């Protein structure tokens, strides 16, 4: 079984500042890792994912996450945030052996961007 811990429930930052949203996972097997974003009153959207290969993965809107196996982490970063990044961010994990690909989600981090 897997579990995910998102260490911060809320992160307030100023516009154009850098941000890091922390995610740690626990698993006895190899994992796939995901970040989803949920804008107000919307469903979750896949932001980026790590399956294999390069441990640094990027999204189209400037976010990146790095898989660190030794620290069992998959932190999400952006060097300069915009007001439009205000949303809730969810880290998720699934075991690579699982054909069902059932995702286990963290509790979410609410990112608030202040002007």
By CB under 8 A, name the binding residues for other proteins.
32, 34, 36, 41-46, 49, 51, 90, 99-108
Radius of gyration, CA atoms only, the chain? 14
CA angle 44, 87, 84 (to 5 degrees): 115
Nearer to other proteins, 108 or 113 (CB): 108
Nearer to other proteins, 71 or 107 (CB): 107
Please, is 85 exposed, middle or buried when counting C-beta atoms within 10 Å of its C-beta (0-12, 13-18, 19+)? Answer: buried
Nearer to other proteins, 17 or 51 (CB): 51
Nearer to other proteins, 61 or 80 (CB): 61
Q: How far is the CB of 45 from other proteins (least distance, A)?
A: 7
CB 5 within 8 A of CB 103: no
DSSP label at residue 79? S
Q: How far is the CB of 49 from other proteins (least distance, A)?
A: 5
Q: How far is the CB of 89 from other proteins (least distance, A)?
A: 12
Q: How far is the CB of 104 from other proteins (least distance, A)?
A: 8
Beta strand 87-95 with 73-78: parallel, antiparallel or unpaired?
A: unpaired
Beta bridge partners of 66: 56, 75
């Amino acid at each position: 079984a897997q579990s995910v811990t998102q260490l911060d429930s809320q992160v307030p930052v100023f516009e154009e500042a850098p941000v890091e949203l922390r995610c740690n996972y626990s698993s006895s097997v190899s994992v796939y890792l995901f970040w989803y974003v949920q804008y107000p009153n919307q469903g979750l959207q896949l932001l980026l994912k790590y399956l294999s290969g390069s441990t640094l993965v990027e999204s189209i809107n400037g976010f990146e996450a790095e898989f660190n196996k030794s620290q069992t982490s998959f932190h999400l970063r952006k060097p300069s945030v915009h007001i439009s990044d205000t949303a809730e961010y969810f880290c998720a994990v699934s075991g690579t052996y699982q054909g069902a690909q059932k995702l286990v989600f963290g509790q979410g981090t609410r990112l608030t961007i202040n002007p």
